[in-house]
Chain A
Amino acid sequence: MTQSASNAQMAVTDEVAIEIRGMNKWFGSFHVLRDIDMTVNRGERIVICGPSGSGKSTLIRCINRLEEHQSGRIVVDGTELTSDLKNIDKVRSEVGMVFQHFNLFPHLTILENCTLAPIWVRKTPKKEAEEIAMHFLSKVKIPEQALKYPGQLSGGQQQRVAIARSLCMKPRIMLFDEPTSALDPEMIKEVLDTMIELAREGMTMLVVTHEMGFAQAVANRVVFMDQGQIVEENEPRAFFNNPQSDRTKLFLSQILGH
């Protein structure tokens, strides 16, 4: 990553995109998320990091209800997540998600992967959906692969398709669940570059990642989690240069220490 001082140029607004208040979640009797409070404004780029098992993936998966929380409130774009299926589908169609293992649909072509949700959820006419898909595939720089199947693409290309597939729904918020963890080192950069470009365009992003370079370049806030709770939260420069809690210091020394 070449940029460093570009953080400030990306505008953060006062409008609240996601509000989480006193949220708790258990897997069986295991308390995975404890009293999470978090407000995300529109245009924010938040990187969530922490040791494995700290609940960071579970947290962002609660935001589009891939996981159900048991207490507290989660309000996304003014819609509260409850067991009401209509609200859930509404939130899901507004919030894009990119997974660690891409989760492209292997039986559909790249183009069909990108047009499926716009056609069936947004009721976009097929032709228009294809134009939108080609637009975003060009944006992630793989329009020439549109008619191939996911299995024919490299990991980095698949992850860029997954990003394009989410963007085709014109989401207002994007969630990234360890988007580069399953990639070969050579392919990480192409995915991060795509994400950086997205951040520059003002997308609200929540990114679970261990790419600290990305956090420094793009994030306006870094959230450190451990044992299901938010331990430390700060703007990236202060977070990396002057961590406050011992747990954070230990974590940073372990991931940056070689």
Chain B
Amino acid sequence: MDRTAPFVRSAMIPQSPPPRGETGLVHWLRSNLFATPLDAVLTVISAVVLWQLLAGIGPWFLNAVWNASSLAQCREILAGESGACLAVIRDRWHQLLFGFYPSEFYWRPTLALILMLVALAPILFAGVPRRLLWFSAVYPALAYWLLWGGTIWFPALALAGFAAGWAAFRAAHAVAPILAVPAAVLGAVLWWVFAVGPISGALQGALPVGLTFVRSDAFGGFMLSTIIGVTGIALSLPIGILLALGRKSDMFLIKTISVGFIEFIRGVPLITLLFTASLLLNYFLPPGTNFDIVLRVVIMVTLFAAAYMAEVIRGGLAALPRGQYEAADSLGLDYWRAMRLIILPQALKISIPGIVNNFIGLFKDTTLVVFIGLLDPLGLTTAIRADSAWNGIFWELYIFVGACFFIFCFGMSRYSMHLEARLKTDHR
């Protein structure tokens, strides 16, 4: 070098810790609660309001009466003081949870719930052995059998319909690959319509295994909400994905059907669909068909949720850069593989907040079934008040129902945050 630079650093400066007071509790208080005079005033006002709220509600909970057989007795014990009459929960919790399900069979929905958690574990959490997914696949039939009872052969054979579909798929694939999917659908449907009934009847005659049958109108409470909610959630996601892909499809017919379905279902209130399920459907079906009301409601709720889900997922698909589609194409992946391996994992990840939002909304919407005569938890509060012992009790029941819903929904919300953190790989 023939020229001298005006400045040359001879040694690089190493990292050093931040000055004192930039970390720790005092720093947190100062930066979050008392940063400016206005902040300090707002903090003090909020603290006073919070204290007033707690001072009002606290005694009501602390004085709660747990042992009483009627609202009148509660008031007697409280003797004019403010206090909750939680005795109603103690007396009627089973109704809020199970509706009018026969009490000697409470173990069946309870077992179904526990098994549901087992079935969900491999789907929700990465650390659980993959082999448990087989149990998850069998679970819907098992849960149906536990909840409704009857012969075990019916749900078992219904499950076998998937095997029938698979067999038809393999057989048709060997002849002409393009016929494989229609053949699979046809095979499964034919099996369900014509084979399941007679064969399960015959098997039950030969080898009777079964539980006492419980009618759908005995179902109620959180059990009913959970059945409708979980089934709706589990089915609306895959249907929503297919609708979203259909809406983005190049094929005119598929696109038109998807758009038509989504726009129709979104344009109609859920309550209308539920009334259709409970009243109109019976007019259209052949006389004598007994199409279970819970099943009809589940189908309607699922379709409704699927239409919303499709739009949320379409948002995720649209958010992906075109380069991802092109990279997948340029590697020679066909449409379904590109979707399954590249596009959907990313699109669904982007859509997680919206998807969970829909799940939570769907779960709470299950309370709407009260309008078609099914006893959801809110409907049961009315039923409980119809008993003269508890006539006039509102807050305690609603708070209990609200708290139960909150636990479910908050759980879903936390899970979605966990999932987002787990899938975060972009390190932006």
By the criterion CB–CB under 8 Å, are A99 and B326 in contact?
Answer: yes
**B248 in the interface (beta carbon within 8 A):** no
A105 to chain B, nearest CB (A): 6
By the criterion CB–CB under 8 Å, are A120 and B326 in contact?
Answer: no
Chain A residue with Cβ nearest B349: A107
Residue numbers in A under 8 Å from B426 (CB-CB): 106, 149, 151
**B123 in the interface (beta carbon within 8 A):** no
In the complex the two chains form, what is the Cα distance from A152 to B330 in whole Å? 24
Interface-lining segment among B303-311, B340-348, B361-369: B340-348
In the complex the two chains form, what is the Cα distance from A117 to B345 in whole Å? 16
Q: Mark B225-246, 1 if CB is under 8 A from A, else 0.
A: 0000000000000000000000
Give the residue of B321, B331, B346, B349 whose beta carbon is less than 8 angstroms from that of A93: B331
By the criterion CB–CB under 8 Å, are A120 and B341 in contact?
Answer: yes
Residue numbers in A under 8 Å from B337 (CB-CB): 120-121
**B207 in the interface (beta carbon within 8 A):** no
By the criterion CB–CB under 8 Å, are A103 and B326 in contact?
Answer: yes
By the criterion CB–CB under 8 Å, are A103 and B323 in contact?
Answer: yes
In the complex the two chains form, what is the Cα distance from A116 to B331 in whole Å? 9
User: Number of A residues contacting the other chain (C-beta, 8 Å)?
Assistant: 27
Give the residue of A105, A116, A152 whose beta carbon is less than 8 angstroms from that of B427: A152
Give residues 102-153 of A contacting B (CB, 8 Å).
103-107, 116-117, 120-121, 149, 151-152
**B114 in the interface (beta carbon within 8 A):** no
Residue numbers in B under 8 Å from A92 (CB-CB): 329-332
Q: Mark B293-334, 1 if CB is under 8 A from A, else 0.
A: 000000000000000000000000000010110111111111
Give the residue of B326, B327, B329 whose beta carbon is less than 8 angstroms from that of A104: B327
In the complex the two chains form, what is the Cα distance from A101 to B331 in whole Å? 16
Residue numbers in A under 8 Å from B341 (CB-CB): 116, 120
Q: Known: A89-B332, A92-B330, A169-B331. Is A151-B323 also a contact (CB below 8 A)?
A: no
B252 to chain A, nearest CB (A): 16
By the criterion CB–CB under 8 Å, are A66 and B342 in contact?
Answer: no
By the criterion CB–CB under 8 Å, are B425 and A99 in contact?
Answer: no
B420 to chain A, nearest CB (A): 13
By the criterion CB–CB under 8 Å, are B427 and A101 in contact?
Answer: no
**B203 in the interface (beta carbon within 8 A):** no
Chain A residue with Cβ nearest B338: A120
Residue numbers in A under 8 Å from B345 (CB-CB): 107
**A32 in the interface (beta carbon within 8 A):** no
Residue numbers in B under 8 Å from A97 (CB-CB): 327, 330
Residue numbers in B under 8 Å from A121 (CB-CB): 331-333, 337
In the complex the two chains form, what is the Cα distance from A104 to B330 in whole Å? 12
By the criterion CB–CB under 8 Å, are A149 and B427 in contact?
Answer: yes
By the criterion CB–CB under 8 Å, are A106 and B327 in contact?
Answer: no
Residue numbers in A under 8 Å from B326 (CB-CB): 66, 99, 103
Q: Known: A66-B326, A99-B323, A99-B326. Is A107-B332 also a contact (CB below 8 A)?
A: no
**B423 in the interface (beta carbon within 8 A):** yes
Q: Known: A149-B426, A152-B427. Is A103-B324 also a contact (CB below 8 A)?
A: yes
**B9 in the interface (beta carbon within 8 A):** no
In the complex the two chains form, what is the Cα distance from A106 to B427 in whole Å? 10
Give the residue of A64, A96, A151, A169 whose beta carbon is less than 8 angstroms from that of B428: A151
Give the residue of A106, A117, A149 whose beta carbon is less than 8 angstroms from that of B346: A106
Chain A residue with Cβ nearest B334: A89
Question: 4 tightest A-B contacts by CB?
Answer: A93-B332, A103-B327, A103-B323, A117-B331
Known: A117-B331, A120-B341. 12 other contacts (CB 8 A): A90-B332, A95-B330, A99-B327, A101-B321, A103-B324, A103-B327, A105-B324, A105-B346, A106-B346, A107-B349, A117-B332, A149-B426
Chain B residues at the A interface, C-beta cutoff of 8 Å: 321, 323-324, 326-334, 337, 341-342, 345-346, 349, 423, 425-428
